[in-house]
Structure 1
Amino acid sequence: MGKSTVALRLAAEARGRGWPVWWVNAADPLSLRGGVLEILRLVGAPDAVARAVRDGSPTAADQLWTFIDGAVKRAVLIFDNADEPAALTADGVSLPGDGTGWIRPSRGVHIVVTTRTNDPRTWGSWAQMRVLTALDDVSAADVLRRLAPQVADPTGEEATALARRLGALPLALHLAGTYLSSPFARWRSFGAYQQALDSTAASEVIADLDSIRASSRAAVSQTWELSLDALSAQGLSRARHLLYLLSCFAPATPIPGSHLRSEADAGAREHSSTLRGLAQVGLIDVDGNS
């Protein structure tokens, strides 16, 4: 967990050294090709190379790396969310570690791949694996205290218990801590928030789940449902509808506010208040420039 966050930190350090950083969504072949085409545009690659990538030519990866290795002295290339390793191969079948696809040893480009696939055979002997483990209870409790420093917890036991209850999941910790520090919080302590979690029907469902992934998803969903309930209780009844609408857009893509309502919408003030409310409980990020 936190793979992309670690990659973002690496990207920031590389930029601080003056290195170009290229970020490619490798979740599927189409997204990957789009990201590679953007890299080629940035480095001024010949049209023939871009056309090979765009057309899905079997030699596209070879042409990319032939050009990059000759034109770039130092850069960081991040392939994010590569949970389907075949997308990184030249033929969509072989293993990416064979060095013939989109990832391969390079003289000047440092490649970072974030993935849930941790079989070393997939990535080749030349790759260095870094397995990220879950946060421990102490670190997870510290996340909650940093997000909600005003919450009184002299012994630290309540924060630790809540962190454990949330499975130390970064997203759940973020939502819970941000909620507790927001003006919409109905519960003002870590203990009260945990009691609210345990009082929901979903907690009984979680106890019966065998799948870790399903349990984690349920834990996170409970935190955002509590936040949405709090917004609704404060008069922002459209918050749940608006968040569901936002979830239909591509992830990590900035969404202009004008896209979310029609010109005839008379509730512009309510709309803005709802967006601010969602931001204050940590469910969305609002860019002041958009």
Structure 2
Amino acid sequence: MAQFGGVAAGRLNVAQMVIATESAAARNGPWVTLAAPTGERDPLFPVRGREALLGDVMRLCTQGGGGRLHVLQGFGGSGKTSVVLEAVIRLEEQRAAPQQVWWLDARREPSLIAGITALARKVGLRPHELRSEDMADALWGRLSVLPFRWVLVLDSADEPSLLDGPGKLASGTGWLRPHSAPDGVVIVTTRRSAAGEWGGHAVLHAVGPLPVADAGDVLLDHTGPAGGTRREAEALGRRLGGLPLALRMAGSYLAEVIGMPEAFHDPDTPVNFAAYLRALERGGAPAGALQAVTETKRLSVELMERRGFPLAGRLLGMLAAFADAPIPPTLLLRPSALSCTQGLEGLDGPTLWRMLKEFTALGILDQLPAAEQPPQLLTVRLHPLIRDVSREAGGVGDAIALMACAVALAEIGLPEEPEAWPVWELLSPHALYLGRHVTADSGLEEEARLSGAETVELAARYLQALGLFGQACKEYETVLAVRRRYLGDEHPDTLSIRHNLASAHHDLGDLSRARAGYEAVWGLWTRAGGEDHLHALLARHELARVLHDLGLLEEAKAHHEQVLAQEQRLHGDEHPRTMASRHELARVLHDAGQLAAARSEYEAIFNARLRTLGAQHPRTLTAQHNLACVLDDLGQHGAAHSQFEIVLAGRSAVLGLKHPRTLNTQVRLARSLHAQGGIAQAGELMQAVWRMSGEVLGQDHPDTLRVSSFLHRWGLV
């Protein structure tokens, strides 16, 4: 409970508050001012990126606030005070300033009460009115009838409960109230964004981060071109979260370093925007650069602790261990998952939800719109600088445990299934970021490294499903290194990642490595569980596909026939794995020139998948694509063209326009157009595919080279 005058504030009435404040002033001096702190404005550095808000505040100051409470809300250091101060000074310079501006410091209750008491004297309340129980009523009665334009600013009111005074702020009975003065305006600056705390008479004006271009301007204002290029300034501004205070501190630091003799530079001293950005990324930013943000974080945590959330700092440290990306709390922060962590396992759902709302209200977290995500996937994002100063020992291990537990509990679907992709889009940045620690010298225990590797594998499977084969391959190699170290080369989990790595090599067109990988995995699974073992059959199936792509059709056919017989015996004729084997055998028939037989098989497979999976499922679209291919090869170009257009629409919607499978359909559509005489249209489409394939897969990928060969054949390259 706040203390002043030696008495607990919560037990004083209004008169006692004023008496206590006056007594303190008599002992210590009248340490209160109602003057605006105009000296804090530096005329050398303009306020950037706030012109619209500045215009709004200036209009309020000259036209009145309509009796409403106008609240400028934003993260600490976002420039709320600077905007109001700039508005007041500009109006003064334009000779349009209100007759009276009163500026109160609302950070602490003693200074707030002292300021309100001084304001009451200024507007003419007599001594006995100052000591009466209804002083607040008398003050607002007087303010409402003043015959001149006035502005009352309460700066840094980060704890709205201090403004309750004799009643309640939200009810209009506190120290701040609705008023009827046509020429008066009340402006508050605060980090609190919860509208319910301010009441229905309040108007909230959000003060967000600066746009990237304006953030770059703030840095360049301080250093000029000596700090680097505009692009480098904007990159640093983005990393600093567009926070004006952090931008000014970084700009001032660089200006000082640039101006000092080089002999005084330490080896690690950032001397330009790019170097400063690198220092931030490796956690070695200049000591004072994040000081204000650290103080903001400390004050926020202390405020939440006073409000009954003793685990606020611990939760913040947990959030800071995740990636600088949207965090889905309904997935990652459910109480059942927090039971896997140290120190947060006792949090219940309602308390956790209130803590997240408090962090959001304080600007520590930004709640992000769901965009195209399902409505239940609420996301929040930690301010990047708060993230920098909140990391703590043990946070990574807890975050890894939390992630693994959340994935296990959420039943979110396989990374290969398109309906699960919205969830994996949110989870994969965090899984991959935490995965950086599983091979590093990070002090993690073996269990944490293996758990982290498991979630990295899932995220890599999602990348592979999206067609990002190179990234997936890199992440698989990370997982393989961890499992080989702790589990050995033949452990089931190690064999699983070796299988996935061979699959990524196949997708990348590295057929020799894919073949070697599958042969090894097939042999080891067969030795461990026999020829009918699930994973042995899967490895053999994929090996046959690689042999097919190597042109070894007879060898591929022999493997596929054996796998198909085993799958039929084990699972029946319409099991998805049986159908997959039939599909690959149909491809062998197709490439062997047995077009009629291939067509019959493709039609049967397509119809079965259409019935069981639906028209938009990737496997259904693959069967339809291959059916269209065999129709085209049979000379039925019109029928093939229609099928390719259907598949292209489906793959574009499900996989995206640049997915390798979508590109493959565009290639076949172009060939069909060319065969029907649409030479120009076919050429334009094939050239577009060639550019996209080079971008996505690389110029040396077999698919890109195949497209290039068609362009050469058609005389377009």
Show CA shifts across 1:101-131 (max 9, x none): 2222331320011122323333333322211
CA contact (8 A) 1:150 1:181 kept: no
Decide which of 83, 91, 97 is 1:6's aligned counterpart: 83
The residue type equivalent to 1:17 in the other structure is A
Pick from 247, 271, 288 the counterpart of residue 188 of structure 1.
271
Displacement of 1:149 in angstroms is 0.8
- Give the helix-richer structure, 1 or 2: 2
Cα–Cα, structure 1 residues 119 and 152, in superposed 2: closer, same or farther, change >3 Å? closer
| Higher alpha-carbon deviation: 60-69 or 193-202 | 193-202
1:17 maps onto 2:92 in alignment: no
Q: Does the residue aligned with 1:24 lie in a helix, a strand or coil? A: strand
Distance 1:39 1:72 in 2: 16
Aligned in 2, Cα 1:121/1:163: closer, same or farther, shift over 3 Å?
Answer: same
Instruction: Say whether the 8 Å CA contact 2:166–2:173 is kept in structure 1.
Output: no
Q: Partner residue of 2:218?
A: 143
Match of 2:116 among 6, 16, 36: 36
Letter in 1 for 2:272: S
What residue number does 1:171 align with?
A: 245
Cα deviation, residue 216, structure 1: 2.4
> 1 or 2 for the larger relative contact order (CA 8 Å, sep ≥6)?
1
* Residue 236 (structure 2) pairs with residue 162 (structure 1): yes
Asked if structure 2 preserves the Cα contact closer than 8 Å seen for 1:76 and 1:110, the reply is yes
Q: Of the two, which has the highest radius of gyration?
A: 2
Rounded Cα–Cα distance in structure 1 between residues aligned with 2:282 and 2:192: 36
Contact kept in structure 2, 1:134 and 1:169, CA below 8 Å: yes
Q: Which residue of 2 aligns with 1:48?
A: 128
C-alpha contact (below 8 Å) 2:210/2:242 kept by paired residues: yes
User: How far is the alpha carbon of 1:219 from its aligned partner?
Assistant: 5.0
* 1:1-290 paired onto structure 2 within 5 Å: 1-15=78-92, 16-19=95-98, 20-52=100-132, 57=133, 59-91=134-166, 94=168, 96-106=169-179, 107=181, 108-151=183-226, 153-154=228-229, 156-182=230-256, 183-184=259-260, 186-200=269-283, 208=321, 216-217=385-386
SS of aligned partner of 2:157: coil
CA distance in 2, matches of 1:195, 1:168: 17
- Tell me the C-alpha RMSD between the 2 structures: 3.1
1: CA distance, partners of 2:389 / 2:124: 43
CA contact (8 A) 1:27 1:84 kept: yes
Which 10-residue stretch deviates more, 82-91 or 39-48?
A: 39-48
Structure 1 residue 9 displacement after superposition: 2.4
The 3 A distance-change label for structure 1 pair 67 and 215 is same
Name the SS for the 1:181 alignment partner. Answer: helix
TM-score by length of 1: 0.62
Corresponding residue SS for 2:221: helix
Contact 2:220/2:227 (8 A) holds in 1: no
Distance in 2, Cα, partners of 1:158 & 1:114: 32
Give the counterpart letter for 2:278 in structure 1: Q
Q: Which runs of 5+ in 1 are unaligned?
A: 222-290
In the alignment, the residues of structure 1 paired with residue 197 and residue 282 of structure 2 have an alpha-carbon distance, to the nearest angstrom, of 44
Rate the CA distance shift 1:199–1:116 in 2: closer, same or farther, 3 A: closer
d(CA) in 1 for partners of 2:275 and 2:284? 17
Identity of aligned residues (%): 34
* AA in 2 matched with 1:208: A
Residue pair 1:89, 1:102 contacting (<8 A) in 2 also: yes
Q: Give how far 1:159 is off.
A: 0.9
Unaligned runs of 5+ in 2: 1-77, 287-316, 324-363, 366-381, 391-717
Q: Is the 8 A contact 2:158 2:191 kept in 1?
A: yes
Q: Could you say what secondary structure the match of 2:174 adopts?
A: coil
String of CA shifts for 1:244-264, please: whole Å, max 9, x gaps: xxxxxxxxxxxxxxxxxxxxx
Q: Paired residue for 1:229?
A: none
Query: For the residues of structure 2 that align with 1:18 and 1:49, how far apart are their CA atoms?
Result: 30
